[in-house]
Amino acid sequence: MKVVKVFDPPLCCSTGVCGPKVDPALVRFAADLHWLANQKVAIERYNLAQQPQAFAANEAVKAALREHGNACLPLILVDGAVAGQGCYPSRRELARLAGVEPDAVEELPVLKSKCC
């Protein structure tokens, strides 16, 4: 089973989908990770503001932060290797990275709404 780890920039909560101005990209990405987990892919997600120890404990993350600073976040690791940095991948890209059949990919529209 593939393991996808997401190292987010500092966010107000674990998903960043809260507050008065919700970023639609974060809403879409949270839904895409949920979809990927339903495809039997292990997902781990870390927020720099709430889980800095996870960033400090991972050599690939520390190296990316040293080289690029926070601009490398979000950082996506697949089975320990850097697979993406600086932006949230689409569901199709996540499926490709995780080795999920492309036929199973169904992009969902992002609804713009306020939270919290």
Residue 11 predicted with pLDDT over 70: yes
74-103 pLDDT, tens digit each = 999 999 999 999 999 999 999 999 999 866
Which residues have a Cβ under 8 Å from the Cβ of 58 and sit 6 or more positions away? 5, 7, 77
pLDDT of amino acid 1: 84
**Better-scored residue on pLDDT, 116 or 59:** 59
Can you give the three-state secondary structure of 6-22, one letter per residue? EEECCCCCCCCCCCCCC
- Among 4-18, 20-34, 69-83, the range of highest mean pLDDT: 69-83
pTM for this model (two decimals): 0.84
Q: Are strands 3-8 and 42-47 parallel, antiparallel or unpaired?
A: parallel
- Picking from 94, 97, 99, 98, the residue whose alpha carbon sits closest to that of residue 107 is 94
Q: How far does Cα 71 stand from its chain's mean position?
A: 14
Are 37 and 96 in contact by the 8 Å Cβ rule? The answer is: no
The confidence score (pLDDT) of residue 115 equals: 47
